[in-house]
Structure 1
Amino acid sequence: MDTKSWHLQDWDDPAGIEARLAGGESATAPWGSEHSWTTPLHLAAERGNAGAVAVMLTHTRQVDVPDSRGLTPLWHAVAALRGESVRLLLDAGADPWRPCVDGWTPGRLALTTELAPLLAGTPGAEPLTAVARAEQARADRLIAVFSAEPIRTEGLHVTFADVVDEDEAIRRIGADPAACPVLRQDPDTDQRSLFDAVGLYAVGVTGTAYGCIVSQPFSLELDQDELSRRLSPATAYSLNFNPKGGVSGTLYRDGDLIRHEEIGPGTPSPGAPPEHWLYRFWQQPGASFSHDANLLAYACAMGGIRKAGPRDGWALSSGPRRIARCR
């Protein structure tokens, strides 16, 4: 089967899929490279309408066929919050409690979403503990803070630190708080001009109830190691959205490097920290939060700021409260 001839629009064309499958093509044949492949059923479950999934299920009994990462079609449907496709796959015999990555199952993920009623009563279901529900609720509230704002992340460098006094953060960075007036946060303001007016090594500083957000929207003139060293003693998590692609994060405590990681949407790798699951790295962006909102929330929490209010997102959408020049 030449599955390369499948196109994105096919996942919304049940009649076309029926014709192809009736002609001998397979809904579960591997598609991709030797080391990274999926199947049409996986893609339909993630991207298509329920009609496409329904047609494919009439042509295969391999409802739990894994892709190259060990993920089933049900996993992909859950990750995209495709409720009707989830129901169809369950009706066809898909196992929601089949471990896919580090013991995580599609059902376990679904219990943290609006799909929970579809999975809660299935054989093998284990309800979330009160602790797990509370942890997820805290993470989701933080994701909502950043999802509510139109944040441009391309090229953004941002550090979240548990320095609870804005003036103190400015002093640690190497500037005089008296020389850093409070700015009017406005989404229509040209942030580049604000930073350019201060000069080289300018960073934005915005205090929150639990820490500070230090941002460099356009260039990384003060590198993450130096910024973290200056903020010390503190816990700080620096997030770098490389405009050429990829997102990296670095965790520091008291100026010491604790962890450097490449992060982003998609199934967490085996052995990933539990916070990658908590902050929904597995969930498709756009399903219930805006793009990159969960990455910002994760970095915020890892930097020691575990609570944030609606206005805290303004630091990245409407500009910082203050701009300091690091000497």
Structure 2
Amino acid sequence: MAGDRPGWSGVVHGSWGDLARIRALLDAGADPDGPVWDDERPLHVAAEEGSPEVVAELAGRVTDVDAVNRGRTALWNAVYHRRPDNVRALLAAGADPWRPMMAGWSPGRLALASPGLFTLPGNEAALSGEEAAMAAAAPRLTEIFADHLDGLGLACVAGIGAAEAVRRLDATPFAVTEAGPCHEPPRPDDDLKIVGATDVPGGCVITQPWGYAPQLSEVMAPLSAGTFAYGLYVNPKSGSQGCVFRDGACEKWDLHPGGDPFPDATAREVLAGHLTSGNAVAYTLAYAGLRPPDGRAVQGPPDLWLRLPR
């Protein structure tokens, strides 16, 4: 994407590590307070993807190093995207690590999920037990599910097992055999009614390697009764699509798991996104608090196959 604002013309995503070029643009009149591209600010973009030298240069020229864009500061972006050198450059420029934002996640508190960047003052809240558990589990999830699984449908349900999922869905279970469904392109008519179910620590995983059925409301609503579930469809055409159901009702729809959080993101969404670094499958599992020991619950074979009712 080229810079489309006066002074930033020709700047693309790879430009923010080139100190000489950015300095030349600034000296020629490019506005350090932006905007660049649509509604981004140069320091925010550099904090996320640039070099610490460019970050320091911009931080020395902006009006306010803690200016907020899309609900967050440049320092928050550097922490969220795990850019420790850029974090240090912004701290040296006077950025505030404890300014509240993003559902209570200041840059400093978010960094507690990735130790090593900040020392926690006595008046700042540590991670809760649930948040600490998510932080502990996430690295393993991103390691297990490193591959991009186009066409995958997934429902991650907290607090219930596969047997309870069968009951709630009024589904017909059948054993996993060599002659059973496999991870191949779907056959017409029948395949979208077949899903896999697997018990994992923290709940269960409903999966369909070839389709979107697990995240449909007809599946998510009964599964989430008295609990919550995150649904995912890795759409080969438009990218990952997510939804949250809680206590039988849709809470959020048309989400983009693995992308940057929206300004109105919940605290759980912010933390899951930070911990899983763009990995949509790991995000979905982390959000639901599930901790599969390996990739089988998603990549198969499941504990059992279910035929959904019409």
Partner of 1:7: 12
Give 1:216's aligned amino acid: Q
> What residue ranges of structure 1 are gaps of 5+ in the alignment?
302-306
Contact conserved, 1:157 with 1:220, CA < 8 A, in 2?
Answer: yes
TM-score with structure 2 length normalisation? 0.79
1:52 aligns with 2:54: yes
Structure 2 vs 1, CA of residues 225 and 209 (structure 1 numbering), >3 Å: closer, same or farther?
same
> For the residues of structure 2 that align with 1:172 and 1:61, how far apart are their CA atoms?
56
Give 1:136's aligned amino acid: E
Post-superposition CA distance 1:272-306 (Å, at most 9, x none): 43322342x3x3853xx7454223321x33xxxxx
C-alpha RMSD over aligned residues: 3.5
Aligned residue pairs total 298
Partner of 1:308: 291
Contact conserved, 1:98 with 1:105, CA < 8 A, in 2?
Answer: yes
Post-superposition CA distance 1:23-82 (Å, at most 9, x none): 33232222244xxx1222221111011122123334445322332x24222111111121
- How far the C-alpha of 1:213 sits from its partner, in A, is 1.2
> What residue ranges of structure 2 are gaps of 5+ in the alignment?
1-5
The DSSP-based 3-state class of the residue aligned with 2:53 is helix
Post-superposition CA distance 1:244-263 (Å, at most 9, x none): 2452313143xx32523333
Contact conserved, 2:220 with 2:231, CA < 8 A, in 1?
Answer: no
Q: Percent identical across equivalent pairs?
A: 27
> For the residues of structure 2 that align with 1:199 and 1:102, how far apart are their CA atoms?
40
> For the residues of structure 2 that align with 1:230 and 1:70, how far apart are their CA atoms?
34
Partner of 2:81: 80
Matches within 5 A, 1:191-270: 191-192=183-184, 199=191, 201-221=193-213, 224-228=216-220, 231=223, 235=227, 237-241=229-233, 243=235, 244-245=238-239, 247-253=241-247, 256-257=248-249, 259-263=251-255, 264=257, 265-270=259-264
1:156 aligns with 2:152: yes
- How far the C-alpha of 1:168 sits from its partner, in A, is 5.1
Partner of 1:93: 94
> For the residues of structure 2 that align with 1:165 and 1:92, how far apart are their CA atoms?
51
Structure 2 vs 1, CA of residues 102 and 208 (structure 1 numbering), >3 Å: closer, same or farther?
closer
